Amino acid sequence: MIGVLVDIGFWVLGILAVASAVLVFVVDSMARATYALALSFVAVGLSLLLLQQNYVGVVTVLMMVMEMAVMAVYMVMYMGMNPALMPMSMVHDKRAALAVSVAAFVVLGAGALLVPWPVRRGVPSPDVTAALGEALMGKQMLVMVVVSPVMVATIVGGIVLAAGRTRYDRFGDDLDVRPPRDPERGGVGR
């Protein structure tokens, strides 16, 4: 009985994930495209619950909805002269894009179907989330610890290079102008 319910859940969520991913390119509105993608990710997150990865599944939904909410803002903002607030096509260079995406889908799908999946040995650990974390991160912890400050430094460096205004624009040539000359005042009176 439980097995049947899990099967039904898997197929419903799987079809929902693929169908809403297709919708991203079919709909003609930025908001609908963004949130169709969010729905696809939500279906993926919920299907992780079928693996009893409750934490990973719920966090996936959390991260993806948050990400798509912010992405909708950027998508509209960076559309520039294109009227992103109006109905518009979500595809460019249709023929090449279609060929690439079909090829990618076939390769990945074939890989998933043809790869010799291992047979289960033993029983799953009682805490599958901890086991997954151990398997993913255990041996690579040093790499992760090194990579994260490098990533933060890259983000900060990128923003510093991209920002039009420097600290000299904010604080003056001698860095002694208080409060800083900002186009918008901050909330804490700096």
Partner 1 sequence: MSDASSLTTVGLPGLLLWAAALLALAVGAVALDGVLAARSEGAPLRPSLTRVVDETARLLRQRRRAPLSADTLVWRVGSSGLVVAALLMVAVVPFGDHVVSDLDVGIVWFNTMDVLVWALVWLLGWGANSAHSLVGGYRFLALALAYELPLMFALVAPAVGAASLRLGDVAAAQSGLWFVVWMPVAFAVYCLGVVAFSVWGPFAVPAGHDLAGGVLAELSGVDRLLAQAGRYALLAAGALFAVPLFLGGGAGPALPGWLWVPVKASVLLALFVLARRTLPSVRPERLMEVGWVVLLPAVLVQDLVVAVVVAVRG
Taking the least distance from each CB to partner 1, the nearer of 118 and 187 is 187
Dihedral sign of CA atoms 118, 123, 129, 130 in order:
negative
Let me know: does 51 contact 128? Beta carbons within 8 Å: yes
DSSP state of 118: P
* Shortest separation between residue 184's beta carbon and partner 1, angstroms: 5
Place of tokens 């297709």: 22
CB of 29 to partner 1, least distance (A): 6
In the complex with partner 1, which residue's Cβ is closer, 21 or 129? 129
Q: Which two tokens stand for residue 143?
A: 């790499």
Residue numbers at the binding site for partner 1 (CB under 8 A): 29, 31-32, 35, 38, 54-55, 58-59, 61-62, 65-66, 68-70, 72-73, 85, 184-188, 190
3-state secondary structure of 15: helix
In the bound state with partner 1, the residue whose beta carbon lies nearer, of 165 and 190, is 190
Q: Least distance to partner 1 from the beta carbon of 177, Å?
A: 18
Q: Which is nearer to partner 1, 17 or 61 (CB)?
A: 61
Contact 40, 119 (CB under 8 A): no
